[in-house]
Chains A and B, each alone.
Chain A
Amino acid sequence: MTVGFVMLCHTALSRAAQVARHWAERNCPVVIHVDRRVSSSEFNELRTELADLGNVKFSARHACEWGTWGIVAASQDASSLMLREFPSVRHVYLASGSCLPLRPVEDLVAYLDERPKTDFIESVTTEDVGWTVGGLDFERFTLRFPFSWRKQRELFDFYVWLQRKVGFRRRIPLGLVPHLGSQWWCLTRKTLSSILEHPEREKIDAYFRKVWIPDESYFQTLVRQHSLNVESRSLTLSKFDFQGKPHIFYDDHLQLLRKSDCFVARKIWPEADKLYSVFLSDDRSRQASAEPNPGKIDRLFSKAVERRTKGRPGLYMQSRFPNENWENGRTAGPYSVFCGFSDVFENFEVWLSKASGSRVHGHLFAKERVEFAGGETTFNGALSDSAAIRDYDPKNFLTNLIWNTRGERQCFQFGPADTQDLNWFLALDANAHVSVISGAWAVSLFQSNLNFGDIRREAARLQKAEMEFLNVLRSGYAKARVRVWTLAEFVENPMEPLQTIIDEIGPRHGRRLTEAPRMADLSGFGQFLQNLRNQGMQPILMGDFPVGDDPSPKTTRRGRPYLVK
């Protein structure tokens, strides 16, 4: 007993001929169906090419437009011919002209010999399929589809909509239970003949003629009526992309295909010379294994689908430019923004970099230039420190920076004196961890040697900017992780917030801070704020600093005991 191949061909006929010859010469009868839309000269060429082979037959030609009845009719006619002409055939294998056998046909014959009564056909109820594109699954069986999905999409959609609105439903005849599945099957003579010789076949065919994509449902549904032993999977390795279009195999897939141990793969690029020459040769060195195992190929293609539909988070490039809120991550990874810390502490950047092991920049959005870590003039990805380039598109600057440094946590200082264009972007980015000591900018002013009039004006400006920033961070839409302390709160007890922040950043969890950064000298700061007040400017963001009661400097040397679990 043997297996017979039914091949449905419409392009690259010379490749189909090559495969048909391969099978036919190994005692597997082949019936070829050629799409009626193929020119007769091409068809005759194929006939003469295979004329020397007695066990290759050609079946009546139908026009096979995608998603229409023609493909089923072609399969029916070709299968009937196969069963009639070749009585030794026990299994019929439906393949396409762009299929390629990956294992010697003897393997397949032996595999089927061990399972003489099994029908291999993917057949899944409509409730359980996850792969239908366009959302039509059960409705394929209950609506009418007189328009072509490819050429008359608008009419198609309109007609579906109309039928849904009106509540039109076709009746499914003879108690058939709709099943769907891959169109590439391998059925036993018994099952196939009972489908083809069904007494009510006319009625069934008439029904399926108007089902959408009947090639994915005709045999899949009917097999459930006749077969006792359905193995619901396809022996053909065939992967589909997110539009329901088959993935194509090329020469560089050779190793993957070899390791898949599948019997037949589709679809092969017609010019993949290496694949055709390797898999159609009689090279016995390929070791046979019992069960097909397409795991690796599955992963490759599901990754491709994911790349196409979700993309890499935080990447903005020539072929990925998501609309706002469709980014799947505004930036490529988490980063920390510190507001006021470098005012409160001396050399905060150096300390933080040591304590957390991350990259700590100065004010990236400073007015004059980009203050990259270590005072560099360029940074990862050749980002320039030019403020003009950064301000041309600050969002691009930040997303580039975070993308370029994937794998390394970035921290930077930010303050009300910096460019404020990015406030909303930061607030809406779930990757942003923003820690604010509100009013800390006043410390720098306090230490500066400016005219008091200028200080007062600058203080008013910075306070306004910071208040706006805080309002944005507190908005109901904000997704960033935000922590805000007033300066007074923070100075009271700096170690606890610092420890929290370090724990959040650092991969080395549970490490206790041993060294605190040195805090700026704040003696006289309360008086300074009072002076501002006296000048008619109300500093409110700092919290409560009573005049004369300067915060004690004890915290600058060593941290309070900090409890670690």
Chain B
Amino acid sequence: MGIISRYRLRLARKRWLIRAFRKRRELRSIALRAEAIRSSDILLFSTLRNEKVRLPYFLKYYRQLGVNHFLIVDNDSDDGSREYLAAQPDVSLWTTRHSYKRSRFGVDWLNWLQMRYGHEHWCLVVDPDEFFVYPFCDTRPLRALTDWLDASNIKSFPAMLLDMYPKGPLDAQPYHEGQDPFEIAQYFDSGNYILQRNRRFGNLWIQGGPRARTFFANDPEQAPALNKIPLVRWRREYAYVSSTHMLLPRGLNQVYDEWGGEKASGILLHAKFLDTFAIKAEEEMRRGEHYAASAEYKAYKAGLDAQPDMWCKWSEKYINWRQLEILGLMSKGNWA
């Protein structure tokens, strides 16, 4: 990587930061409890729209892991999400009616909030349907992981998105508020992921899984990216470039070992494919506020109409993180 392309990336980073700074005006604070944040706290950032049904379990899950404070942007919900979140003691909430798409799918808003509140904190950036799993998460709290990362001088921690799905049609088992979504969406694809290196940003580009298999079998290049780096020891000069898929400076994307070893990594269990999905897909198609004019949702809609079952006989039933480790989807690295 030459000096010129490095300088270009630096400019790109500055540009994203300036953009995030300008977009701060779009956010209106509803409940600001950020002064309660202590210097060692682990923070969680999220953007959402109409996710009321998911929120109780989402908050419970991350509180149990040891997240100390939630900083959430509500994009014009009308299902009671806003009121619910505003009443939570450990949530700071902002709301906006501006375009999700024009804030680069929420990245600008969160980049601003992280710049403002995340400096020198461990920050976890996840969607309300993403559940973070890391090595030893059943016996060690998130703080054990971040302490270990600090001691090892590791600044960013990867967690691939793992699409979970139920057996049978998506709407066969309705999800109710507070329920563990993985009681329904129990299955995942264990070994059909495609990895490529993105030379410009230095990250891996991962595609595949059930979405590629069922919705994009003829067009795998269009399948959504699954690589994510959700946990970062944040500094105000950092910026997410595209969702949490990659960051700048690019050194933060170097979360994989290139000399044969394994670095530690986690998984984001993705509870997207529940009965709520069809409604969401329809709404998002109408709004056209998602990536590539919601092309993904169009593909889903077509796929769902044709083949309602994502399950196949080789689908793996989820047990725990050790299973994911053995299958090679995540790794303990040298954490023991």
Contact A252–B192 (Cβ < 8 Å): no
Contact B190–A404 (Cβ < 8 Å): yes
Q: Give chain B interface residues in 281-336, CB to chain A under 8 Å.
A: 312-316, 328-336
* A41 proximal to B (CB < 8 A): no
Contact A322–B331 (Cβ < 8 Å): no
Contact B312–A382 (Cβ < 8 Å): yes
Q: Give chain A interface residues in 360-390, CB to chain B under 8 Å.
A: 377-384, 386, 388-389
| CA of A380 to CA of B159, assembled, Å | 23
Contact A309–B193 (Cβ < 8 Å): no
* B236 proximal to A (CB < 8 A): no
B9-37: CB near A (< 8 Å → 1, else 0) gives 00000000000000000000000000000
| CA of A381 to CA of B315, assembled, Å | 7
Q: Which residues of B contact A328 (CB under 8 A)?
A: 260
Contact B257–A271 (Cβ < 8 Å): no
Contact B144–A250 (Cβ < 8 Å): yes
CB distance from B264 to the nearest CB of A (A): 7
Contact A308–B333 (Cβ < 8 Å): yes
* A247 proximal to B (CB < 8 A): yes
Contact B217–A312 (Cβ < 8 Å): no
* B218 proximal to A (CB < 8 A): yes
Assign chain B's interface to a size class: 35 or more
Given contacts A388-B220, A396-B195, contact A245 B328 (CB under 8 A): no
Residue A316 contacts which of B195, B259, B315, B333 (CB distance < 8 angstroms)? B195
Contact B262–A319 (Cβ < 8 Å): yes
Contact B206–A250 (Cβ < 8 Å): no
CB distance from A425 to the nearest CB of B (A): 15
Q: Which residues of B contact A400 (CB under 8 A)?
A: 191-193
Contact A318–B335 (Cβ < 8 Å): no
Q: Give chain B interface residues in 205-249, CB to chain A under 8 Å.
A: 206, 208, 210, 212-213, 216-221, 227
Contact A307–B261 (Cβ < 8 Å): yes
Given contacts A247-B336, A304-B335, A307-B332, contact A312 B262 (CB under 8 A): yes
CB distance from B283 to the nearest CB of A (A): 29
Residue B192 contacts which of A321, A326, A381 (CB distance < 8 angstroms)? A381
Contact B331–A320 (Cβ < 8 Å): yes
Contact B194–A392 (Cβ < 8 Å): yes
Q: Which residues of A contact B212 (CB under 8 A)?
A: 384, 389
Q: Which residues of B contact A243 (CB under 8 A)?
A: 152
Given contacts A308-B333, A312-B262, A386-B218, contact A248 B148 (CB under 8 A): yes
* A490 proximal to B (CB < 8 A): no
Contact A392–B220 (Cβ < 8 Å): yes
* B151 proximal to A (CB < 8 A): yes
Contact B258–A326 (Cβ < 8 Å): yes
Residue B331 contacts which of A250, A319, A384, A389 (CB distance < 8 angstroms)? A319
Q: Which residues of B contact A251 (CB under 8 A)?
A: 139-140
* A303 proximal to B (CB < 8 A): yes
Contact B255–A318 (Cβ < 8 Å): yes
Contact A317–B331 (Cβ < 8 Å): yes
Given contacts A317-B265, A382-B213, contact A307 B333 (CB under 8 A): yes
Q: Which residues of A contact B217 (CB under 8 A)?
A: 384, 386, 388-389
* A311 proximal to B (CB < 8 A): yes
A176-215: CB near B (< 8 Å → 1, else 0) gives 0000000000000000000000000000000000000000
Contact A312–B144 (Cβ < 8 Å): no
Given contacts A251-B140, A388-B217, A396-B195, contact A307 B314 (CB under 8 A): no
Contact A310–B260 (Cβ < 8 Å): yes
Q: Which residue of B lies closest to A253 (CB)?
A: B336
Given contacts A303-B336, A307-B334, contact A319 B190 (CB under 8 A): no
Contact A319–B255 (Cβ < 8 Å): yes
- Counting residue pairs across A and B whose Cβ atoms lie within 8 Å, the total is 177
Contact B220–A386 (Cβ < 8 Å): yes
Residue B334 contacts which of A242, A320, A382, A403 (CB distance < 8 angstroms)? A242
Residue B218 contacts which of A245, A271, A327, A388 (CB distance < 8 angstroms)? A388
* A161 proximal to B (CB < 8 A): no
A477-498: CB near B (< 8 Å → 1, else 0) gives 0000000000000000000000
Q: Which residues of B contact A377 (CB under 8 A)?
A: 312
Q: Which residue of A lies closest to B143 (CB)?
A: A271
Q: Which residues of B contact A312 (CB under 8 A)?
A: 262, 328
A286-319: CB near B (< 8 Å → 1, else 0) gives 0000000000000011011101111110011111
* A446 proximal to B (CB < 8 A): no
Contact A388–B136 (Cβ < 8 Å): no
Q: Which residues of A contact B312 (CB under 8 A)?
A: 377-378, 382
* B127 proximal to A (CB < 8 A): no
Given contacts A252-B136, A388-B220, contact A307 B257 (CB under 8 A): no
| CA of A443 to CA of B192, assembled, Å | 35
* B197 proximal to A (CB < 8 A): yes
| CA of A320 to CA of B262, assembled, Å | 5
CB distance from B254 to the nearest CB of A (A): 10
| CA of A392 to CA of B190, assembled, Å | 19
* A393 proximal to B (CB < 8 A): yes
Contact B314–A382 (Cβ < 8 Å): yes
Given contacts A312-B262, A404-B191, contact A250 B140 (CB under 8 A): yes
Q: State the 3 A-B residue pairs at the shortest beta-carbon distance, nearest first.
A: A381-B191, A308-B334, A304-B336
Question: Which residues of chain B have a CB within 8 Å of any CB of chain A?
Answer: 136, 139-141, 143-144, 147-148, 151-152, 158-160, 189-197, 204, 206, 208, 210, 212-213, 216-221, 227, 255-265, 312-316, 328-336
Q: Can you pick out 15 interface pairs between chain A and chain B where the beta carbons lie within 8 Å of each other?
A: A250-B136, A251-B140, A252-B139, A252-B140, A304-B333, A307-B261, A307-B333, A310-B261, A318-B159, A319-B331, A321-B195, A382-B189, A382-B210, A388-B220, A389-B192
Known: A271-B144, A317-B195, A321-B258. 13 other contacts (CB 8 A): A250-B144, A252-B136, A269-B144, A271-B141, A303-B336, A319-B256, A320-B257, A321-B197, A321-B204, A323-B258, A326-B258, A327-B260, A382-B315
